[in-house]
Chain A
Amino acid sequence: MSAVTPRSDPVEDCVSTLAAAVHGPARTKARMVAEVREDLTDAVAERTRAGLTYQRAAAQAVREFGTPDELVVSWQRELTIAQARHTARTVALTVPLVVACWYLVRRAGHDQTWELARTAQMLGVHLSGVSAITALLAAVALAVTGTLARRLPTPDRLPLAVAWGGTVASASMAFATLALALAAALGTDWLLFASAGTLAASSHALVAGSARSCRRCARLPAVGASSAGAR
């Protein structure tokens, strides 16, 4: 048996360097990296069966695979789009919840017993509108990066637009959380407001995390590369 330590294994070195160089949704990235590891293992096995030592076989397989510098642009482009789709999906699923939360705040204003509810109502109307626009942007982004991409090129700036749309939606959810927390503290129906506030806070956490990752991916150099190179 060859005394190869994981540190000196060219396959592991290649896979871990590439994995460290690209960013995107954890599940998609893990899937692609696992696939590469399996296929490089196959490539090495085929060469060792042909008589090469493990080290030579692994070095040859890694050379054919390409260096991380050669691959990072195409990998990052795909992972950035995957991250944009993830953020868009999260926004599209959570914005209706936050709009429902604002509706609750609006209802709270009907008892007219506290001024905060009126302020929250006005804020809610505007932020619901903004949230609806971000949800629309998310739906468009999902369509454009999905089956429509067979016919239309994906705009280079779409991931950045989705990232900032997600950021705006998460800010709206943070306001909703604050308003619902105050409504819970001051209103009579505190259990309903507290539940809605928890929902808004959870939505905010989900969208904010995804939007932050999307902003990070969209700033990476691969996104600037023309989508013509995607083929």
Chain B
Amino acid sequence: MRHDAVRGHLDGLLLAVLETGPLHGYAIITAVQQRSGGVLELRTGTIYPALNRLERIGLLRSSWQTTGERRRRCYELTEAGRRTLAGERTAWREFTTAIGSVLNPVAPPGAVT
């Protein structure tokens, strides 16, 4: 799936992979790719401004963590982030149900095809 098709859902994807615990940028990218079975094609450079924006609006918080000689910025969900993720899930379910019912209409009983 092309990266511009993913763009409108990037917030939800980032919040969802952080639900299980704090991750740094590369681990977030890997988690999105793994969960999608490699189908979602992200321009990995787009996640940094998105993470910065989610932190700015209070859905994530971040801190530098040092492992050996490496410093990594780790992100985790805030309470507001968890609530927003729940809202994103509900909106996504409603959206896919609506689109699905248009694309795959259930034929009424007795209808001639």
Tell me the A residues contacting B by CB distance below 8 Å: 18, 28, 31-32, 34-36, 38-39, 41-43, 64-66, 70-71, 74-75, 77-79, 81-82, 85, 145-147, 149-150, 229-231
Known: A39-B29, A74-B49, A78-B49. A146 touches B56 (CB 8 A): yes
Known: A71-B45, A150-B80. A38 touches B56 (CB 8 A): no
Main SS of the interface on chain A?
helix
User: What are the interface flags for B55-76 relative to A under an 8 Å C-beta threshold, 1 for contact and 0 otherwise?
Assistant: 0111100000000001111000
Report which of A35, A41, A145 forms a contact with B48, defined as CB distance below 8 A.
Answer: A35
A66 to B46, CA, bound (A): 8
A184 to B101, CA, bound (A): 78
- List 4 extra interface pairs beyond A71-B43, A149-B57, CB under 8 A: A36-B48, A38-B71, A65-B44, A66-B44
Measured between beta carbons, the chain A residues less than 8 angstroms from B95 are none
Report which of B25, B45, B80 forms a contact with A66, defined as CB distance below 8 A.
Answer: B45
Known: A64-B44, A66-B45. A145 touches B56 (CB 8 A): yes
Tell me the B residues contacting A by CB distance below 8 Å: 3, 7-8, 10-11, 24-26, 29, 42-46, 48-50, 52-53, 56-59, 70-73, 80, 84
Q: How far is the CB of A156 from chain B (nearest CB, A)?
A: 15
Measured between beta carbons, the chain B residues less than 8 angstroms from A36 are 25, 45, 48
Q: How far is the CB of B45 from chain A (nearest CB, A)?
A: 4
Measured between beta carbons, the chain A residues less than 8 angstroms from B80 are 147, 150
Q: Across chains A and B, which 9 residue pairs bring their CB atoms closest together, nearest first?
A: A66-B43, A78-B49, A39-B26, A66-B45, A42-B26, A71-B45, A39-B25, A65-B45, A149-B57
Q: Max chain A CB contacts within 10 Å: which of B11, B48, B72, B73? A: B48
Q: How far is the CB of B50 from chain A (nearest CB, A)?
A: 8
Q: How far is the CB of A228 from chain B (nearest CB, A)?
A: 9
A18 to B50, CA, bound (A): 16
Main SS of the interface on chain B?
helix
Known: A64-B43, A66-B45, A75-B49. A38 touches B70 (CB 8 A): yes
A32 to B64, CA, bound (A): 12
Q: How far is the CB of B91 from chain A (nearest CB, A)?
A: 12
A41 to B70, CA, bound (A): 10
CB<8 Å pairs between A and B, sample of 23: A18-B45, A28-B52, A32-B48, A32-B49, A32-B52, A38-B25, A38-B71, A39-B25, A41-B70, A64-B42, A65-B43, A70-B43, A71-B46, A75-B45, A78-B52, A78-B53, A85-B56, A146-B56, A146-B58, A147-B57, A150-B59, A230-B53, A231-B7
Of all chain B residues, the one with the shortest Cβ separation from A228 is: B8
B73 near A81 (CB under 8 angstroms)?
no
Measured between beta carbons, the chain A residues less than 8 angstroms from B42 are 64
B43 near A149 (CB under 8 angstroms)?
no
A149 near B26 (CB under 8 angstroms)?
no
A231 near B24 (CB under 8 angstroms)?
no
